Amino acid sequence: MNEQGDAWSKVSRSMEKQLEKCTRQAIAASRLAADVPAADVGSSACEVVLKKDRMRLLHYLDGPEEKNPVPVLLVYALINRPYILDLQPDRSVVQSLLKQGLDVYMIDWGKPKHGDRFLGLDDYIERYMDDCICAIAKRSGQESISLLGYCIGGYLTSVYASLHPDRVRNLAVMASPLDFGIGEGLLHLWTREEYFDPKQVVEAFGNAPAEFLNGGFAMLDPLGNTLLKYLNFYENIEDRKSVEMFLRMEKWLSDGIPVAGAFYVDLIRDGYQKNLFVKNKLRVNGGRADVKRLTMPILAIVAEKDHIVPPSSTLGLLDVAPSKDKTTMSYPTGHIGLSVGGGSHRDLWPKVAGWFTNRSLPAKETR
Amino acid sequence: MVAKRRNSLGNTLPAEPPRQEPVRLFKEVVDAQMDIWKEWSRKAGADVSDAAKEVAPTVAQYWAKMFAALWESAGEARTREDPLVRQEELRRYMLVSYNEMMKKVLATKSFAARSGNGVKGMLDGVKAWNEVMEETLRALHLPTRGDIDELHEALYNLSKRVDYMVKSLENSGNRRAK
């Protein structure tokens, strides 16, 4: 009888605690609904130094007066908006690099319209990136600059560096799909030639629609992206900072942009299906993207729990590049956590900034 | 031996009366339809059976783990200080396990093939619709997407040529300056 009484009192105490927690969460939810915080993103001060078609080159103005002479150009992917690298002041790759005295630029690719469906890899490399890099070199008085590519931006920067190594001082790639022949990762399986033809997407839609791409990414973590994250959000609804961060992330996730048709075919066919770049067979505008020309310092930043781009896909570049200065930095986080995780900004980004700074001495003082 | 049938004039009638012919033809059509359905269901069944063979061990493994967790939880519920917290943890564990199981299923070749076919079917439907719209607009003498795409392509090629010409001029100017 005593045991039964104890059990019932445990249950009733537990129910009381749960009820109290549910009430607090419900009150916090109703307060949130009445006063939804503004999800301000990309708030670092910047100026537009170059505009070409839909692309804009941004130059960030914060940071110390005296900056490192070798600028760093951030190149994000062509999927989703680049302000993920400047999501909020304490979770901003841009701010982390500026604080260490680096001169930071970023390419905003813009949103392709139907008429942009003919833009391919060669256009993005030779017409847009090359113009940006030449403009930055001219403004800074440097012959070569540092590049940091995130995700498919890392593929773009690596291909560019193999075509124009004289213009790249240091190359950093972050969670980038470079070696597509690793046999890991759901995207690598789903885009195989026997299962998927990218030309059909382009023939049907022109550009690859954002909804189509986001649907595929959501399926990489089905319950995580559709249910678990909302449960986590509700669990932390009393924490205002956590709520603001969640709203910013949701804003970015829902702010998808289409990918230009020709580039989509180039990426899937020449990248995911044929893996031409690391095999040294990729041709861009008639010239070969020669991985043997990647002799500049290379930094590979990988996320250990990345389910979108397996770390081995990024590290595959280090196996083929002949550079004598190769560094790997890994962090136990996911694909997006590298750029917005609190731990990444505390532990990883100061090291990345230090890597750039140490390799940005004037040419006569290097090596 | 079937006796020959004769009419009132003593002429031999055909072996099968004419009214049997539609019945025979209908039976042949039904048999052909049944063959088609059998072939389709045999193939679909084989596909489903192949897919099931590929994912069944994974699904069974994860369900066994989840069941074991439920059993263990039921056993220790009385000893826990806060039994409802354990329920929350268990629910979270079940959802995460189910998510992991789904990821394993999505990583099979069967799923990749099926989803590829599904996407292809959807895209074929969109293309067919686009063709219908093109023809309709053409019949109404209105500009079509194809017409606009031709213009876009011409503009793209033109702007690309201008870009490369400008680069070429800048490069030769730089070389002369050096």
Q: What is the ipTM of this complex?
A: 0.81
| Chain B interface includes A233 (CB < 8 A) | no
- For residue A10, list chain B residues with Cβ-Cβ distance below 8 A: 80-83
pLDDT value, residue A365: 41
β-bridge partners, A98: none
| Chain B interface includes A206 (CB < 8 A) | yes
pLDDT greater at residue A10 or residue A274: A274
List the end-to-end C-alpha distance of chain A, in Å, as a whole number.
81
- For residue B106, list chain A residues with Cβ-Cβ distance below 8 A: 186, 219-220, 222
Confidence check: pLDDT of A171 > 90: yes
At A103-121, the pLDDT tens digits run 999 999 999 999 999 999 9
pLDDT value, residue B104: 86
pLDDT value, residue B13: 67
Confidence check: pLDDT of A313 > 90: yes
| Chain B interface includes A178 (CB < 8 A) | no
What whole-number distance in Å separates Cα of residue A149 and Cα of residue A158?
A: 8
What whole-number distance in Å separates Cα of residue A22 and Cα of residue A45?
A: 41
At A47-76, the pLDDT tens digits run 999 999 999 999 999 888 888 999 999 999
Q: Are A154 and A173 in contact (CB under 8 A)?
A: yes
* Helix, strand and coil in chain A, % to nearest 5: 50, 15, 35
Q: Give me the mean pLDDT over the B26-50 stretch.
A: 67
For chain A, the domains span: 46-365
pLDDT value, residue B1: 53
pLDDT value, residue B75: 66
Confidence check: pLDDT of B56 > 80: no
Q: Chain B: nearest CA to A241, how far in angstroms? A: 23
The whole-model pTM stands at: 0.84
What whole-number distance in Å separates Cα of residue A327 and Cα of residue A355?
A: 9
Choose from A190, A196, A231, A265 for mutation: most chain B CBs within 10 A: A190
Q: In which band, very low, low, confident or very high, does the pLDDT at A364 lie, cut at 50, 70 and 90?
A: very low
pLDDT value, residue B14: 64
CA nearest neighbour of A249 among A336, A344, A343: A336
pLDDT value, residue B92: 82
Residue A302 — φ and ψ, nearest 5°? -125, 150
- For residue A127, list chain B residues with Cβ-Cβ distance below 8 A: 160, 163
pLDDT greater at residue A154 or residue B16: A154
β-bridge partners, A58: A48, A106
Buried b (16+ CB within 10 A) or exposed e, B163-176: beeeeeeeeeeeee
Q: Chain B: nearest CA to A10, how far in angstroms? A: 7
Q: Give me the mean pLDDT over the B126-151 stretch.
A: 91
What whole-number distance in Å separates Cα of residue B29 and Cα of residue B23?
A: 10
The average confidence (pLDDT) of chain A is: 92
Q: What is the 3-state secondary structure (H, E, C) of A312-358?
A: HHHHHHHHHCCCCCEEEEEECCCCCHHHHCHHHHHHHHHHHHHHHHH
- For residue B115, list chain A residues with Cβ-Cβ distance below 8 A: 190, 195
Nearest CA in chain A to B92: A228
pLDDT value, residue B85: 67
pLDDT value, residue A64: 86
CB-closest option in B95, B113, B115 to A228: B95
**Chain-chain contact of A186 with B106 (C-beta, under 8 angstroms):** yes
Report CA Rg, chain A. Answer: 23
Q: Chain B: nearest CA to A358, how far in angstroms? A: 30
Interface residues of B toward A, Cβ cutoff 8 Å, are 78, 80-85, 92, 95-96, 98-99, 102-103, 106-107, 109, 112-113, 115-116, 119-120, 123-124, 126-127, 130, 148-149, 152-153, 155-156, 159-160, 163, 167
**Chain-chain contact of A117 with B116 (C-beta, under 8 angstroms):** no
At A182-221, the pLDDT tens digits run 878 889 899 999 999 999 999 999 999 999 999 999 889 8
At A290-311, the pLDDT tens digits run 999 999 999 999 999 998 999 9
**Chain-chain contact of B160 with A123 (C-beta, under 8 angstroms):** yes
CA nearest neighbour of A68 among A325, A362, A364: A362
Q: Token digits for A264?
A: 């989509």
pLDDT value, residue A367: 38
Q: In which band, very low, low, confident or very high, does the pLDDT at B58 lie, cut at 50, 70 and 90?
A: confident
The secondary structure of A77-89 as a DSSP string is -SSS-GGGGBSSG
User: Can you name the CATH fold of A46-365?
Assistant: Rossmann fold (3.40.50)
Nearest CA in chain B to A194: B113
Confidence check: pLDDT of A256 > 80: yes
Q: Token digits for B41?
A: 């269901």
